[in-house]
Amino acid sequence: MKRQPRSSPRSGKTRRTVSIIGTGSYVPEKILTNADLMRMVDTSDEWITTRTGIKERRIAAKDEHTSDMATKAALAAMEQAGVSAKEIDLILLATATPDMMFPSTACLVQTKLGATKAACLDISAACAGFLFAIEIAQQFITSHTYETVLVIGAEKLSSITNWNDRNTCVLFGDGAGAAVLRHRGSAHGVIATHVGSDGTYADILFMPGGGCRTPITLENADKNLQTIHMSGKDVYKQAVIAMLAASKTVLGQAGLTIDDIACVIPHQANLRIIEAIADRLKIPLDRFYVNLDRYGNTSAAAVAIALDEANRTGRIKSGDYILMVVFGGGLTWASTVIEW
């Protein structure tokens, strides 16, 4: 028999249920395979596949920016939700690769959509950004501040990748995913959310250039400071620790166990990280939705694209409990349990 979750300790019995009423995603046409990368850096399909599980990733066109991909994902989510641009109260866009430092990419998406009444802001929480945005959206809807929130995770990581660095360039890709959230009046919706950060690990995954500390100059550009810098082994270790803890915390808040979860949608960074979490949670790998073989790590977009695919392919069904859990630079981590 299906277990009934208890209501979130933070929100109490009178909380408004917040539902994801539509999802959408977009990935660019251009495919970059492991074989293509072998012609660019000293690597092999065997190394990339066994160390990461990635086979190919998508790369945006030169004139295709984060806001363009975000808009396409948003339109698909809005169409599925049956929500028009004019109904959107708030646009939250999670990204580490905004079109520019300011205005926010969310503002640029607002204009492309014609979502004239929406308040707009970007969320900076690296790969964890989409679930941070879901948490914020939920708070605004639960508090009756807004009715309809558009949440987007979108990245053009190819624009901050050092294509000469084999340690990082094989990992990342471009794309966008989106969800429309609203109070639906049924029990189905977000049951529990958890977010966390630890800035003491800021230097294991970061982009040093481009901010006020290291502005873009010719000299800094030569040092590749405007690209991703990562200590892979440290990130790997922290990713497993943080995603495992975040999964257990949110399940506890929801009053559920891992056995109640029909589908886990994790951050799509490395298949070995997902296998390690499956092993420690003691559930089979096939309970996880995995698409990193096709897209690589698309940071804030990854879990959003995976959620849309799981939704549209019927991998998640009405009434299923799903667990989403992510990890990113910062460090940041987040987890959400939803009754679909």
User: Which residues of this chain interact with ligand UT7, rule CB under 6 A?
Assistant: 43, 47-48, 51-52, 127, 166-167, 170, 205, 230, 232-233, 235-236, 239, 269-270, 297, 328
Residue 295 in contact with residue 302, Cβ under 8 Å? yes
- Angle of CA points 269, 295, 282, to nearest 5°: 40
Residue 113 CA to residue 89 CA, distance in Å, equals 13
CB of 318 closer than 8 Å to CB of 283: no
Minimum gap (Å) between residue 169 Cβ and ligand UT7: 7
CB-wise, 65 or 229, nearer to ligand UT7? 229
Nearer to ligand UT7, 37 or 120 (CB): 37
Q: Which is nearer to ligand UT7, 78 or 325 (CB)?
A: 325
Question: Toward ligand UT7, which CB reaches closer, 149 or 277?
Answer: 277
To ligand UT7, the closest distance from the beta carbon of 228 in angstroms equals 8
- Please give the structure tokens belonging to residue 45: 């399909």
**Which are the contacts of 51, defined by CB distance < 8 A and separation ≥ 6?**
270, 272
| Minimum distance from residue 173 beta carbon to ligand UT7 (Å) | 12
Contact present, 290 and 39 (Cβ < 8 Å):
no
178 near 151, Cβ under 8 Å?
yes
Q: Considering beta carbons, is residue 39 or 233 the nearer one to ligand UT7?
A: 233
Question: Least distance (Å) from ligand UT7 to the CB of residue 268?
Answer: 9
Kindly give the pairing relationship between strand 90-94 and strand 148-156.
parallel
Q: Which is nearer to ligand UT7, 326 or 337 (CB)?
A: 326
Residue 223 CB, shortest distance to ligand UT7, in Å, is 20
Point out the residue whose Cβ comes nearest to ligand UT7. Answer: 232
For every residue of 288-327, which 3-state class applies, written as one string?
ECCCHHHHCECHHHHHHHHHHHHHHCCCCCCCCEEEEEEE
Q: Closest by alpha carbon to 127, among 166, 154, 165?
A: 154
Cα–Cα distance, 208 to 40 (Å, whole number): 24
- What is the rounded distance in angstroms from the CA atom of residue 228 to the CA atom of residue 165? 10
Q: Which residues are catalytic?
A: 127, 267, 297
Residue 13 DSSP symbol: T
Picking from 205, 207, 242, 239, the residue whose alpha carbon sits closest to that of residue 223 is: 207
Please report how close the Cβ of residue 233 comes to ligand UT7 at its closest, in angstroms. Answer: 5
Question: Cα separations (Å) of 182 from 21, 150, 192, 262?
Answer: 7, 9, 16, 23
Nearest distance from residue 297's CB to ligand UT7, in Å?
A: 5
Nearer to ligand UT7 by Cβ, of 50 and 84: the residue is: 50
The CA-based diameter of the chain, rounded to the nearest angstrom, is 64
